[in-house]
A and B are shown apart, each in its own frame.
Chain A
């Protein structure tokens, strides 16, 4: 069973990792998160095994409600009540985050693990200045620094994330800034301690316009390389993943259904759900204009009412009736570093990518 051998999944080693430490930076093992429901507990994250290597961008894709944001919150120890982590381990630099005291977790959060959230409009506090909110992190994690040092460091960090006239911006309030600048401020807050090993970015560009999204993604890729940190990039947008991630994990109904390097995943997805997602992307020139688009039928299942077998069963075009309905498939290694949770991946026809794109730009 995979639960006992999660380290095998990290065979796609992190070549870009700067750390001499072998093995992954973070290992999530058999994580389970539950919320109380009307008819007993609802498992929103079920047996999730995932490793994040040193210095890699791991993309996590999935639809709303699939548990991807809850996974991010679990890593930061911020699962909202009444939710509870009911099983598993999260190993970060050999410590189990789930066994840590609140105090110890606070030391790590914001210093070595940081998060950038989706809505730069709501994740900044409207009543404090930008400078206040950036230096607050330093006041907590670097109490030995003087106010002057903190201010200087904030200006330096704001320059690094591409904010012009940082000294003037320090005294501004969030409402005075555009969405793009706010997101840059969020990134500055996340990285200011200078010691971040893992940056979790939860839909960091979803609320932004495409031209600004391109700028922010470029910034993430630059900063990730510069600070040689690992990044967990959570998004529903496969295009964003294709442009940035080294490896990709696909989530569906609280479970990881496929993990692979970005290129193998886009060239040859194995899980029927991943294939369905790839085919339902509108791609310029892939099919005649105004023709019907490939769609995954049905809707995402209710987590409180999952079948005993594969959660994708009733939307899947390749299901085998008894096996898929009754038995939950395990995450199997299909190729080196390519894991898939499907009974039938061996029987599927080789993946045919949507016809090549005619260059649109």
Chain B
């Protein structure tokens, strides 16, 4: 059920990243943005961990830390059990990324052929004369034909471009793909095509996905494990079925209740959550969510709730998790 049988492809242990910033030129004392504040998870081959949360919760920083685009302040990222300390070519080959916006993530003056050859050349995946075949094979894997090779990105539709983005990630045979909102920029009718493609590729190639998304319905469909982030911390983590059967953190419950249901018979009259996410430079004492939490008690202001086991494979960081029964 969980993504922890045997050896995980990627493991993250107590990862911390704070960014220093000054409030203004006159205020010399540095204020730090606690973007990622001690998170841990593992992803096994062939499985998907979904990272869910509002903008500014640290999802993208987590992705950057895994890709070694940012150096962590403390904590470790382990690839196949070995700690990663610097961005080696091997790491780059094993961990690839699919970006949110297929309009911005393909170099506009490269032909599709060159876009796909580049990773092959950099990682010396194959000989020069094999490249054409490898590129054609990569395109075939994502449901495109060799016809697109001499074209430029602007000649393709959004869905086709996202397929090229996926082909580029796949070309070097990675183990883990970080998918940062891979379908949110696409049209509704194209989304399912790309999701189906990602599911097929995972099955045929045993890929692990870190799937960053805010779309809970989509997460319910494609992930094996869900981790909910709030202000730099994971506040709840559980296998997908367990999570959607009964989340054990008031923030997760609010997220679920906030996402609109495509059914006019089930209208929600009132927004389930008041207020907005607190500033990561000025965190509330105790529980970070208490300023918006409908269940906050005095204890929440005093003590930060640890992420603890509240059920089989089910972690929650809430003092009152045990009272939350659906």
Contact = CB atoms under 8 A, between A and B. Distances in A.
A63 B187 contact: yes
Nearest to A180: B276
A289 B241 contact: yes
A214 B276 CA distance: 12
Interface string B164-202: 000000000000000000000001111111011001100
A299 B264 CA distance: 28
Chain B residues touching A, majority SS: helix
B221 interface: yes
B2 interface: no
A295 interface: yes
Contacts of A239: 259-262
| Most chain A Cβ neighbours within 10 Å, of B159, B200, B217, B255 | B217
A213 B260 contact: yes
Contacts of A209: 54-55, 214, 277
Contacts of A179: 55
A292 B198 CA distance: 10
Contacts, number: 144
A243 B160 contact: no
Contacts of A244: 267
A257 to B, nearest CB: 13
Nearest to A216: B271
| Most chain B Cβ neighbours within 10 Å, of A211, A214, A266, A277 | A211
Interface string A253-293: 00000000011001000000000111011111101011011
B196 A293 contact: yes
A361 B256 contact: yes
Interface string A97-114: 000000000000000000
B256 A360 contact: yes
B188 A299 contact: no
A345 B272 CA distance: 39
A243 B260 CA distance: 7
Interface in B242-259: 244, 253-259
A282 B221 contact: yes
Contact of A360 (B187, B214, B244): B244
A290 B203 CA distance: 10
B148 to A, nearest CB: 13
Contacts of A178: 276
A212 interface: yes
A79 interface: no
B218 interface: yes
A299 B257 CA distance: 32
A147 to B, nearest CB: 30
Interface string A228-240: 0000000011111
Given A209-B214, A283-B262, A290-B221, A277 B244 contact: no
A212 B276 contact: yes
B267 A211 contact: no
B222 interface: yes
Contacts of A1: none
B96 interface: no
A300 interface: yes
B189 A282 contact: no
| Most chain B Cβ neighbours within 10 Å, of A237, A263, A293 | A293
B146 interface: no
B310 interface: no
B184 to A, nearest CB: 10
A218 B270 contact: yes
A262 B261 CA distance: 13
Contact of B258 (A211, A283, A293, A299): A211
A171 interface: no
A284 B271 contact: no
Contacts of A282: 192, 195, 215, 217-218, 220-221
B273 interface: yes
Given A266-B263, A292-B196, A243 B189 contact: no
Interface residues of B, number: 51
Given A239-B262, A299-B160, A289 B192 contact: no
A122 interface: no
B24 interface: no
A280 B191 contact: yes
A237 to B, nearest CB: 7
B268 interface: yes
A296 B196 CA distance: 12
B186 to A, nearest CB: 9
Contact of B260 (A240, A266, A287): A240
B157 interface: yes
Interface in B197-249: 199-200, 214-218, 220-222, 240-241, 244
Contacts of A295: 189, 192-193, 196
A280 B214 contact: no
Contact of B272 (A211, A242, A289, A315): A211
Contacts of B191: 280
A289 B240 contact: yes
Contacts of A242: 260-264, 267
Contact of B221 (A210, A266, A289): A289
A63 B192 CA distance: 14
Contacts of A280: 188-189, 191-192
A210 B214 contact: yes
A243 B217 contact: no
Nearest to B200: A292
13 contacts: A210-B54, A210-B258, A211-B258, A211-B273, A214-B268, A242-B260, A266-B262, A282-B221, A289-B220, A289-B221, A289-B241, A300-B157, A357-B261
Given A63-B188, A266-B262, A282-B220, 13 more contacts: A64-B158, A178-B276, A210-B214, A217-B271, A218-B271, A238-B188, A238-B262, A243-B268, A292-B200, A293-B192, A295-B196, A299-B190, A357-B261
10 A-B pairs with least C-beta separation: A295-B192, A239-B260, A214-B271, A63-B187, A361-B256, A209-B54, A296-B189, A293-B192, A214-B258, A215-B271
